[in-house]
C-alpha cells in the first residue's frame, strides 16, 4: 500500500531551522523527523513512499536517494505555495481508482499501530479515516480549593476533546472533494466528508507529538534523549 507524506510547506514557525532546510528534515535525535516517520510506517510493513515536496525539495530527494533498502522513496514536486489538499491532488495520478492509501504530514510522530488503523478503515468502508488524539496541554494543570493547590499535574493529556492527529487512510474518492492547489485538506474536504458521514475518527490515546514550533522540536529531542536514544514512537 502507498504512503503519501506531505513535505512541501515552509515551516515558518521553525524559521531558526527551516531557512536552510525543509521542515521534515529538521533533526530529532540526530536524524530528520521525516526519517523517523518513514521508520514508523516501515515497522508495519509499508514500503512505497511518495513525498509531496515543495520548499527546498532537493534536500529531501538527495537524502532518500542515498538510502538503500527494500522501500521505494519517490519525491514529487508539488509547488512551493500549494496547500495541503492541492499537494495531495497533484499525486492523484499515482493512485488507482478504488485504491486505499495512507497519508500523513512530515512533522508528527505517533506510537499507534498503523495496521490497526488500516484495518479499522477497511472494516467501516468510508472514504476517510482520521486518527484523533488528545494532545498534551501546553502548561501544567492546577486545581485550587480555597487558597490551597490540592492537585498539580505537569503537562497532562488534554481531556477537553479530540483533535486531528494527522495520520489518515483515504480511498481514491477523496480526490472528488479537492478543487485545486489552494484547497486546504483540513477545511472544506474533511468538513464535507463529515457532513456526508464519510469521515471516521480512529481514537489513539498513546504517544503523539507534532513539531510545529522550536519548543516542540526541543521537547522531542528531550524525549528521545530521555529514552536513551531510542524512539518511544516505535514500539518494540
pLDDT exceeds 90 at position 142: no
Instruction: Name the CATH superfamily housing domain 2-226.
Output: Spore Coat Polysaccharide Biosynthesis Protein SpsA; Chain A (3.90.550.10)
Which has more pLDDT, 192 or 158?
192
Residue 147: predicted pLDDT: 47
Q: How confident is the model at residue 134 (pLDDT cuts 50, 70, 90)?
A: confident
Q: Is 145 helix (H, G, I), strand (E, B) or coil?
A: strand
Nearest to 52 by CA among 188, 209, 185, 171: 185
pLDDT exceeds 90 at position 125: yes
β-pairing, 2-7 vs 48-53, is parallel
Residue 150: predicted pLDDT: 46
Q: How confident is the model at residue 200 (pLDDT cuts 50, 70, 90)?
A: very high
Q: How confident is the model at residue 149 (pLDDT cuts 50, 70, 90)?
A: very low
In degrees and rounded to multiples of 5, residue 41 shows phi and psi of -65, -40
This prediction has a pTM of 0.89
Residue 81: predicted pLDDT: 93
Report the chain's mean pLDDT, rounded to a whole number: 89
pLDDT exceeds 80 at position 118: yes
pLDDT exceeds 60 at position 78: yes
In degrees and rounded to multiples of 5, residue 64 shows phi and psi of -80, -20
Percent of the residues in the chain that have a pLDDT greater than 70, as a whole number? 88
Residue 72 pairs with which residues in a beta bridge? 48
In degrees and rounded to multiples of 5, residue 131 shows phi and psi of -70, 130
Range 163-187 average pLDDT = 96
Domain ranges of the chain: 2-226
Q: How do residues 20-61 score in pLDDT, each as one tens digit?
A: 899 999 999 999 999 999 999 999 999 999 999 999 999 999
**Contact between residue 177 and residue 128 where contact means Cβ atoms under 8 Å apart:** no
Amino acid at each position: 500500500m502507498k504512503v503519501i507524506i506531505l513535505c512541501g510547506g515552509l515551516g515558518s514557525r521553525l524559521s531558526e531551522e527551516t531557512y536552510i532546510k525543509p521542515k521534515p528534515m529538521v533533526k530529532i535525535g540526530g536524524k530528520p523527523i521525516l526519517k523517523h516517520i518513514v521508520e514508523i510506517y516501515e515497522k508495519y510493513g509499508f514500503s512505497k513512499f511518495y513525498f509531496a515536496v515543495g520548499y527546498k525539495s532537493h534536500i529531501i530527494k538527495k537524502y532518500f536517494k542515498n538510502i538503500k533498502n527494500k522501500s521505494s522513496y519517490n519525491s514529487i514536486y508539488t509547488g512551493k505555495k500549494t496547500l495541503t489538499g492541492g499537494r495531495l491532488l497533484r499525486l492523484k495520478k499515482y493512485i488507482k481508482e478504488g485504491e486505499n492509501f495512507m497519508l500523513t504530514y512530515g512533522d508528527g510522530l505517533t506510537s499507534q499501530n498503523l495496521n490497526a488503523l488500516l484495518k479499522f478503515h477497511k472494516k467501516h468502508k468510508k472514504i476517510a479515516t482520521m486518527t484523533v488524539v488528545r494532545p498534551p496541554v501546553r502548561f501544567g494543570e492546577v486545581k485550587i480549593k480555597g487558597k490551597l493547590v490540592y492537585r498539580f499535574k505537569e503537562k497532562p493529556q488534554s481531556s477537553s476533546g479530540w483533535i486531528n492527529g494527522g495520520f489518515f487512510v483515504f480511498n481514491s474518492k477523496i480526490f472528488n472533494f479537492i478543487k485545486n492547489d489552494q484547497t486546504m485538506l483540513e477545511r472544506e474536504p474533511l468538513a464535507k466528508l463529515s457532513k456526508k458521514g464519510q469521515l471516521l475518527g480512529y481514537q489513539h490515546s498513546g504517544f503523539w507529538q507534532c513539531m510545529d514550533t522550536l519548543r516542540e522540536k526541543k521537547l522531542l529531542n528531550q524525549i528521545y534523549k530521555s529514552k536513551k536514544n531510542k524512539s518511544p514512537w516505535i514500539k518494540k
